[in-house]
Structure 1
Amino acid sequence: MNSPNDPASLTELLHRLRTETEGMDQVSVADILNAVGERSFGPLVLIAGIITLAPLIGDIPGVPTLLGLVVLLTLGQLIFHRRSIWIPGKLARRNIGRQKLIKGLDWMDKPARFMDRWTKRRMAWLVSGPGQYLMAILCMLVAAAMPLMEIVPFSANGGGLALTAFGLAIIARDGLLALLAILATGGTAWFILTHLPW
């Protein structure tokens, strides 16, 4: 599900998003998928997590749910080995101002450099081969919970953190980081269940 052209680090992914969207006023979901590679599992999950975490973007009502839908649709199709990914036109055309996107990416620069220093190839069996399908299913569960996260304050940050960790773990082949992502997923689920308004 991953490609040799995938970015090798979080810093490289942020750079790719900047360069691939240069000259645009508005950046659509389709533009983001093209920038990260629509058939690339790790970068796709990572960028959904980053955007959910980024201030000014992830706090916009509807954005976590939109990103959850993108992750669900694309990963579901990748698991079943579709040759091309289909996304409804209405969803693909949803956009955000590039200036706002760049501000969010700029905010991520320092954390990205920190995370890249600490990730390395270890316990790779967790994030490659059959393990990669388990990671995809867990990411889809996080994505499916995104609408609930919009109801429970601050829980979307936990979901964004889990997706970011899963995506980075897959790119860096870092199984230890994948285990931390699983813990973040469990912690977020517990937080949502104990803070639901009903």
Structure 2
Amino acid sequence: MWNKKPVRSMTLYEMLAKMQPRRQQDVFAFSDFWDVMEKRGFGPMLAFPSFLACTPIGAVPGVPSLAGATILLIALQILLGRRHPWLPQKIMSIECEADQLRSVVEKAKPYATRIDRFLVPRCFFMRHTLFRSLIALCCIGCGLIMVPLELIPFMGFIPALAVFIMAIGMAADDGAVALIGVSISAFGFTLGFRQLLTVAA
């Protein structure tokens, strides 16, 4: 484990609540989420860009590529063994429309409450450096493939969903969920790569 005193695991509902802009906000920047979640580790940091890419916001041109690049940078830091995530200011200043994000989060919250019933700390093999590195490699692959997949409508959803599930597993300290995300990432990367080869042919 990286931290001698790990923080309490998060629920999906809590994570979504942190993604929800305040009522008076017109725009929501990555830095707004970062400021309140930085000390919670890499799970929530990976969850935010992957969640955006899974929602209708991900249909906005440029969002899948930015989300993929952000996921790639964060996952690289996991692989390198950094204790706390860091991102360049250019990514931290990325903004989205607050009303749209607020609406998406509100719709997702009831589902999050149901999913939280199944999220429990278990399968602690994910705390091992080897498994953390495997998660990081899967996220790197998904982040990389999301950039060119922006050219193919909706194809970036599967790798983004895989990263989001892995992020939930990390944040909730649930190795079983993280392993599901790893499996989906392998499928998403393979399918995405085949689609890119088909387009290029």
TM-score with structure 1 length normalisation?
Answer: 0.85
Q: Deviations over 1:13-45 (max 9, x none)?
A: 1112236x5532211222222232267111111
Instruction: Tell me, yes or no, if the aligned pair for 1:48 and 1:163 is still in contact at 8 Å.
Output: no
Judged with a 3 Å threshold, the aligned counterparts in structure 2 of structure 1 residues 86 and 128 are, in CA distance, closer, same or farther, namely closer
CA-CA distance at 1:101 after TM superposition: 1.2
Partner of 1:119: 119
**2:83 is the counterpart of 1:102:** no
Alignment partners' CA distance in 1, 2:150 and 2:72: 17
Cα distance change, pair 7–22 in 1 and its aligned pair in 2 (3 A): farther
Distance 1:151 1:6, change over 3 A: farther
Q: Name the aligned partner's letter for residue 189 of structure 1.
A: F
- The equivalent of 1:193 in structure 2 is 193
Partner of 2:34: 33
- Mapped to 1, the partners of 2:174 and 2:78 lie a distance apart of 21
**Aligned partner of residue 20 in structure 2, secondary structure:** helix
- Residues 1:142 and 2:147 are matched in the alignment: no
Q: How does 1:38-77 map to 2 (within 5 A)?
A: 40-55=41-56, 57-77=57-77
Secondary structure (helix, strand or coil) at the match of 1:65 reads helix
Displacement of 1:84 after TM fit?
A: 6.5
1:31 corresponds to which letter in structure 2?
A: D
Which position in structure 1 is the counterpart of 2:90?
90
The CA deviation at 1:102 is 0.6
Check conservation: 2:34, 2:45, Cα contact below 8 A: yes
The question of 1:128 aligning with 2:130 is answered no
Query: Alpha-carbon deviations, 1:42-98, whole Å to 9, x = none?
Result: 11112222111122x111111121112222223323543557755333322221121
Q: Is the 8 A contact 2:11 2:116 kept in 1?
A: yes
- Two-structure CA RMSD over aligned residues (Å): 2.4
**In percent, how many aligned pairs have the same letter?**
25
CA distance in 1, matches of 2:53, 2:35: 19
Equivalent-residue separation in structure 2 for 1:5 and 1:17 (angstroms): 19
Q: Distance in 1 between matches of 2:46 and 2:8?
A: 12
- Contact 1:7/1:13 (CA < 8 Å) preserved in 2? no
Structure 1: distance between partners of 2:121 and 2:185? 22
1:12 to 11, 14, 22: 14
C-alpha distance in 1, partners of 2:85/2:10?
23
Task: Quote how far apart the aligned CAs of 1:133 are.
Answer: 2.5
Question: TM-score w.r.t. structure 2 length?
Answer: 0.84
The count of corresponding residues between Structure 1 and Structure 2 is: 195
Q: Give 1:62's aligned amino acid.
A: G
Maintained 8 Å contact 1:152/1:192:
no
Residue 23 (1) aligns with residue 24 (2): yes
SS in 1 for 2:96: strand
Letter aligned with residue 15 of structure 2: L
